[in-house]
């Protein structure tokens, strides 16, 4: 798993690396653009006034929402990606912080219509995911939605099948969502598959 310094070094080439994987329909970013586009459209269609992005990276998704007048909040642990995103969105309320320690204090002071996490929560163990997601649900406005786009699978069988096919390229330091197992903690969780290794998870308040 990359450290925050690793992501700093990757920041300038991050979007290009993602695009290559997505266009080749290969692990880990197959389906990336479709998922981000889906989240973007759902937030606009619901007329959400604000959004919190967990692990916003270079601001690929939220900068588009920002351009539509959505009030943007975010947290990421890479200073370099923070700088790139803040330049795109000078009025966004962005903060540096490691999500393994939860949300930074200023973000806990607000409630959100939408909370987004794209390709960021796989750095947390399943136990930490459960705790973090329960905390995030408390930060939603009534009727709010959490959108999680990530390397994710419907079942453990699907997860293991992909792992075997990927072989040595599989990242053993990451913890991918298995929807059937997470539903034990969040029965209303919805999972939509968008590629062999990725999907969209939604949780509503």
The position carrying tokens 């909040």 is: 73
The three-class DSSP label of residue 186 is coil
Helix (H) or strand (E) holding 146: strand 140-153
Q: Quote the CA–CA distance of 72 and 119 in Å, as a whole number.
A: 18
Which regions of the chain are under pLDDT 50? 1-14
* b/e code 17-40 from CB counts within 10 Å (16+ = b): ebeebbeeeebbbbbbeebbebbb
Residues whose CB falls within 8 Å of the CB of residue 98, separated by 6 or more in sequence, listed in order = 4, 77
Mark out the alpha helices in 68-203 (DSSP H runs). Answer: 79-88, 105-108, 126-137, 156-166, 179-182
Q: Quote the CA–CA distance of 196 and 205 in Å, as a whole number.
A: 28
Q: What is the pLDDT of residue 194?
A: 95
Q: What is the pLDDT of residue 14?
A: 46
Q: What is the pLDDT of residue 110?
A: 97
Read off φ and ψ for residue 65, nearest 5 degrees: -65, -40
Q: What is the pLDDT of residue 22?
A: 55
Mark out the alpha helices in 79-178 (DSSP H runs). Answer: 79-88, 105-108, 126-137, 156-166
Q: What is the pLDDT of residue 29?
A: 86
Q: What is the pLDDT of residue 19?
A: 55
What is the share, in percent, of the chain residues with pLDDT greater than 70? 88
Q: Quote the CA–CA distance of 18 and 91 in Å, as a whole number.
A: 26
pTM for the structure as a whole: 0.89
Q: Could you tell me which of 117, 66, 116 has the C-alpha nearest to residue 88?
A: 66
């Amino acid at each position: 798993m990359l450290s925050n310094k690793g992501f700093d070094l990757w920041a300038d080439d991050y979007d290009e690396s993602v695009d290559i994987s997505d266009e080749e329909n290969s692990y880990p970013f197959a389906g990336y653009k479709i998922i981000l586009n889906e989240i973007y459209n759902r937030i606009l269609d619901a007329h959400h006034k604000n959004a919190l992005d967990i692990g916003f990276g270079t601001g690929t998704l939220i900068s588009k929402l920002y351009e539509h007048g959505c009030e943007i909040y975010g947290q990421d642990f890479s200073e370099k990606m923070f700088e790139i995103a803040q330049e795109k969105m000078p009025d966004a309320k962005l903060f540096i912080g490691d999500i393994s320690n939860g949300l930074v204090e200023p973000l806990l002071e607000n409630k959100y219509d939408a909370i987004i996490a794209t390709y960021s929560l796989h750095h947390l163990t399943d136990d930490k995911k459960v705790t973090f997601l329960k905390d995030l649900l408390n930060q939603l406005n009534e009727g709010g939605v959490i959108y999680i786009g990530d390397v994710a699978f419907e079942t453990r069988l699907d997860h293991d099948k992909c792992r075997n096919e990927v072989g040595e390229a599989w990242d053993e330091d990451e913890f991918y969502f298995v929807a059937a197992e997470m539903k034990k903690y969040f029965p209303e969780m919805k999972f939509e598959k968008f590629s062999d290794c990725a999907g969209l998870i939604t949780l509503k308040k």
